[in-house]
Amino acid sequence: MTSTRITVKGERPYDVVVGTGVLAELPGLLGDEVRTVAVVHPAGLPEISRPVCGAIESAGYSVVALPVPDGERAKSVDVAAELWSAFGRYGVTRSDAVVGVGGGATTDLAGFAAATWLRGVKVVQVPTTLLGMVDAAVGGKTGINTPEGKNLVGSFHPPSGVLCDLATLVSVPRDDYVGGLAEVIKGGFIADPTILLLIEDDPEGARLPEGRHTRALIERKIQVKADVVGADLRESGVRETLNYGHTLAHAIERVEDYRMRHGEAVAIGMVYAAELSHLSGHAPLSLVQRTRDILAAVGLPTAYRHDAWPELRDHMRVDKKNRGTRRRFVILDDVAKVTRLEDPPEELLEEAYRKIAR
């Protein structure tokens, strides 16, 4: 199978390579200056780092494998500090590199550690989950969580490249794979309606790494993000559209203490955003129903606990899109027609939540 190269433009352009056997490109992304490579990977999945470490070692680099906690537990200041200490012990210099291998939480952490070590060293991302490939590892936005919220501490640090080996998706647990579909579906609603048509054509196939539209869905979602990030790296304008559904999603993750999959929270958040779009007079009711239908067809949730609103409302007040006391929501006028809702009244927000409460 041939590989596809999707270029993320901007001040520091790089390629996202999609295909099988793409690890052969890793040494070329590291370059001649690099001597030591720190490979950050989930401790519970050491096997996913072995091919990466092997490719780097065979190219003549010195490799340091650094396991971190699985999932969102990795994205803390304590774990970041442990990585900084390890970089110091193993002599990672400004001309060396970090490679992040794993899901979105691992690549977020690896990117943040690289961005902050010696004020920025080279990073290459090797996502091994659907969520990591189509969203977290692409775009150069890195971050960790705090007790107050998700991704509130971070930086913009574009990678030197992203390698998406589709073969790794076969071993991803089915629920995790389906969770990643939420970000794919989001890309369809905010920018590329063909994504929605492909899923509606074969929702069961969309749930499978071997589905007949799988590669097209992945490449189209990566292209959506590449286009947005290339135009707005630092989230000062159009990049905010990528946060569709995420205001409530991040609040749900906080309430769940990050035990819920990110994609499941985003799915619920998209239904909420669609309801908010309709209730505020922007989107037709058909958009709400289509959102529910597509998410349900692939097995994603569309509702959340009826008694959670007070806590969710408080967490949404600490959101990176807010400006002072003014809350801002990304909503839709229709498919691929994104707008913003500025400081909506409390009653409207609560009414939208009642529509998704079970």
Under the banding of pLDDT at 50, 70 and 90, the label for residue 302 is very high
Catalytic: which of 122, 243, 264, 327?
243
**Is 314 one of the annotated binding-site residues?**
no
- What pLDDT does residue 320 have? 57
pLDDT average, residue stretch 292-318: 95
Which top CATH class is 174-356?
mainly alpha
pLDDT average, residue stretch 138-166: 94
Catalytic, 183? Answer yes
Which amino acid belongs to residue 1? M
Q: Which two tokens stand for residue 70?
A: 């699985």
How far is it, in rounded angstroms, from Cα 266 to Cα 242?
11
Catalytic, 225? Answer yes
pTM for the predicted model, two decimal places: 0.94
- Angle, CA of 42, 46 and 48, to the nearest 5°: 90
How far is it, in rounded angstroms, from Cα 266 to Cα 299?
13
**Is 186 one of the annotated binding-site residues?**
no
**Is 128 one of the annotated binding-site residues?**
yes
**Is 132 one of the annotated binding-site residues?**
no
DSSP three-state, residue 143: strand
Catalytic, 151? Answer no
Residues of the chain with pLDDT > 70: what percent? Answer: 98
DSSP three-state, residue 218: helix
pLDDT exceeds 70 at position 1: no
pLDDT tens readout for residues 49-105 = 999 999 999 999 999 999 999 999 999 999 999 999 999 999 999 999 999 999 999
pLDDT average, residue stretch 333-345: 96
Catalytic: which of 41, 122, 220, 239?
239
- Give the start-to-end residue ranges of the domains of the chain: 4-171, 174-356
- What pLDDT does residue 317 have? 86
Under the banding of pLDDT at 50, 70 and 90, the label for residue 276 is very high
Catalytic, 250? Answer yes
- What pLDDT does residue 169 have? 96
Catalytic, 213? Answer no
The two beta strands, 328-334 and 337-342, are antiparallel
pLDDT tens readout for residues 210-230 = 999 999 999 999 999 999 998
**Is 9 one of the annotated binding-site residues?**
no
Catalytic, 262? Answer yes
CA distances from 220 to 5, 57, 185, 294 (A): 12, 33, 11, 17
How far is it, in rounded angstroms, from Cα 270 to Cα 329?
11
DSSP 297-345: HTT----B-GGGHHHHHHHHTS-TT-BTTB-EEEEEEETTEEEEEES--
- What pLDDT does residue 202 have? 98
Catalytic, 243? Answer yes
CA distances from 313 to 118, 254, 256, 262, 352 (A): 38, 11, 14, 18, 12
Catalytic, 235? Answer yes
Instruction: Estimate to the nearest angstrom the gap between the alpha carbon of 310 and the chain centroid.
Output: 27
**Is 146 one of the annotated binding-site residues?**
no
Mean pLDDT of the chain: 95
Catalytic: which of 41, 151, 157, 183?
183
Catalytic, 119? Answer yes
Looking at the structure, give the CATH architecture of the domain made up of residues 4-171: 3-Layer(aba) Sandwich (3.40)
Under the banding of pLDDT at 50, 70 and 90, the label for residue 123 is very high
Under the banding of pLDDT at 50, 70 and 90, the label for residue 325 is low
The two beta strands, 97-102 and 36-42, are parallel
- What pLDDT does residue 236 have? 74
- What pLDDT does residue 340 have? 95
pLDDT average, residue stretch 237-256: 94
pLDDT exceeds 90 at position 233: no
Strands (DSSP E) contained in the chain are 4-8, 14-19, 36-42, 62-68, 97-102, 122-127, 141-146, 149-156, 161-165, 328-334, 337-342
Under the banding of pLDDT at 50, 70 and 90, the label for residue 296 is very high
